[in-house]
Structure 1
Amino acid sequence: MALVAVAGLAFASASPSFAQGKGPAEVSVDELMKPTDLPDLAIGPKDAKVTIVEYASMTCPHCAHFSTEVFEPIKKKYIDTGKVRFIYREFPLDNLAAAVSMLARCAGNDKVFPLIETFYEKQADWAFANGSPVPKLFDIAKQAGFTQESFDKCLTDQKLLDQITAQRSRASDTFGVNATPTFFINGKRLQEAPSVEAFDKVLEPLLAAK
C-alpha cells in the first residue's frame, strides 16, 4: 500500500495552530459561499440564519481537539436545532492530511462526517506514531466500508487531490487562511481560540438579531 496520489505533493508552510490576526477579520460571504468544483461538506439547514465555515487539516492537533471536545456541544445546541449550518473545508497542511481528507471524501454521503470524526479521535495513532501510517489508516477506513481496492483507488484519485489542493489555495489566496483551524461565522473570522464559550459569544447575538 502506498500513498501514491500524494507522494509528490508539496504545500507551502502553514501553522497547525489557532489562526489569529494575520488574515482579514471579515471576508465576503458571497465569495465564501460561492460553489466550486469540490462540493461542500455541510450539515444543518441551507437557510439557517448563521453559517460557520471551518478550514481544517486532518493532522492538526487543534483541529482534532475541536472535533472531539468542542464540536458536539455546538452541534447539539445550534446545528441539530436548525439554527446554524456548519461547513467543513479541507486545508491540508501536509501530504498525510491530504490523503486522509481524500479517504473521508471517498467514504461518501452519510459516512463522511463520522469518518472525519474517527480520524480525529484516533489522530495520535496514525499521524504521530512510528512507522508507516498506511496500515493504521486502512484499519480505520475498513470500519467505513473500504476494501483494499477502494482504499488504493481513492488514494490515487488525482482529480480529487487536485480539487482539495485548489480549495486550500483558494482559502489562502482569497480569504487569508494561514493556520488551522480557521473559522468564519457569517463571513467574520473567529478571533478567539475555538471553545464552546467563544462560539456562544458570537452566535447568540447573531441568532437574537431581528
Structure 2
Amino acid sequence: MPNKPKKSRNIAIGAGVAVAAVLLGVASYTATKPAESSNGGTVKEEAAGAAPSTESQAGVYPELEKLARRDAEDPLAQGRADAPVVMVEYADFKCGFCGKFARDTEPGLVKKYVEDGTLRIEWRNFPIFGEDSERAARAAWAAGRQGRFWQFHEAAYADGSKEKGFGDDRLKELAEDAGVKDVGRFVTDAGSDAAKSAVKKDQEEAYGLGAAATPSFVINGRPISGAQPDQVFHQAIESAAKSAKPAGKKGGGSE
C-alpha cells in the first residue's frame, strides 16, 4: 500500500466532511491491509479481494456530494450532467485493481446506468505510483483535449498494458490506439503546465478526502473504497437514485 499522504497535501473540503474523510481513509486502509492467510503467513487483501468495508457503506455525507462537478463540457466524464447519480472515481493507470474495475465492472455500469441517464461517471486522476503514473495521468488528460479520454482509458487499462510501462513512446502508441488524431498536439498538451495543474487539482482533492489507495469512489456522497464486487456498486447507485433530488442542469448530454 502506498504511503499515507502528508498533512501538507490535505485540503479543506468544507464543514461536516471530516468524518467522511476519515471513513474513506479507513476504508482505503482496510481494503489493502495485510491479513493472516490460512497457512499462518500474510496475504495482501487488496481492493478487489477485500469484502466491502462496513465504514465505507455506512452512510451518505451531503458535503461529499459537492465533489460532483457536473460540467457538461468535461471530457473526463461520461453521462448526463443532470443525472440523478454521480460516481466520482479516483484512480491511477498503474493500479492493477483500477484496471480490474475498468475492465470487469465499469462497462456494465455504463450499459445499465449511464446509457439510461441514471448515472454520470466523473474521473479524477489520482497518480500515486510514481512518475509513470504521473505521465499516464497527464497523457489521459491530453487525450481528453481531443475528445478521446475514454478511448485512452480503455487502451491504458487493457489487460497487460500497464506491464509495458508508460514511457513517452508507449503513451504515443496508446494515443494512436485511442484514435487521437493529432499526436503532436497530444505530446505538447501532455507536457504542458495546464496538464500538470489539472492532475494536481484532482490529486489534491483525493488526498484531502483521506484517500490512501486506489481505486476510491464517492457515489452521491457515499464513499466506497476498492474494486468491490459489482453488486456493491449496483446497490449504491440504485439507493442513490431512489433518494436523489433533481439536479440543476448545466447543459445536458454525455461525452
TM-score, with normalisation over the residues of structure 1?
0.77
Moved over 6 A (4+): none
Structure 1 position 105, deviation (Å): 1.8
Assess if the C-alpha contact under 8 Å between 1:40 and 1:87 holds in 2. no
- Shifted more, 100-109 versus 59-68: the winner is 100-109
Assess if the C-alpha contact under 8 Å between 2:86 and 2:119 holds in 1. yes
Q: Superposed, which structure 2 residues align to 1:173-188 within 5 Å? A: 173=208, 175-188=209-222
Residue of structure 2 equivalent to 1:97: 133
For 1:193 and 1:138, how far apart are their aligned partners in 2?
Answer: 28
Q: What letter corresponds to residue 118 of structure 1 in structure 2?
A: A
Structure 1 position 209, deviation (Å): 4.2
Assess if the C-alpha contact under 8 Å between 2:92 and 2:98 holds in 1. yes
Deviations 1:128-147 (A, max 9, x none): 348x8332222221232355
Residue of structure 1 equivalent to 2:229: 195
Deviations 1:37-58 (A, max 9, x none): xx57211112221111100011
For 2:234 and 2:183, how far apart are their aligned partners in 1?
Answer: 43
Q: 1:48 aligns with which of 83, 89, 106?
A: 83
Provide the identity percentage.
Answer: 22
For 1:134 and 1:145, how far apart are their aligned partners in 2?
Answer: 15
Assess if the C-alpha contact under 8 Å between 2:77 and 2:120 holds in 1. yes
Q: What letter corresponds to residue 148 of structure 2 in structure 1?
A: K
For 2:215 and 2:119, how far apart are their aligned partners in 1?
Answer: 18
Residue of structure 1 equivalent to 2:42: none
Find the structure with the greater CA-based Rg.
Answer: 2
Q: 1:106 aligns with which of 130, 134, 142?
A: 142
Aligned-residue RMSD, C-alpha: 3.2
Q: Superposed, which structure 2 residues align to 1:42-191 within 5 Å? A: 42-93=77-128, 94-107=130-143, 108-121=145-158, 124-125=160-161, 127-129=162-164, 133-143=167-177, 144-145=179-180, 149-173=184-208, 175-190=209-224
Secondary structure of the 2:157 match is helix
Q: 1:76 to 1:96 in 2, by over 3 A?
A: same
For 1:104 and 1:92, how far apart are their aligned partners in 2?
Answer: 11
Residue of structure 1 equivalent to 2:23: none
Residue of structure 2 equivalent to 1:3: none
Q: 1:194 to 1:43 in 2, by over 3 A?
A: same
Structure with higher RCO (Cα < 8 A, 6+ apart):
1
Structure 1 position 188, deviation (Å): 0.8
Gaps of 5+ in 1: 1-10
Q: 1:34 to 1:112 in 2, by over 3 A?
A: closer
Q: What letter corresponds to residue 116 of structure 1 in structure 2?
A: H
Q: 1:209 to 1:25 in 2, by over 3 A?
A: closer
For 1:34 and 1:193, how far apart are their aligned partners in 2?
Answer: 23
Gaps of 5+ in 2: 6-27, 33-45, 245-255
TM-score, with normalisation over the residues of structure 2?
0.64
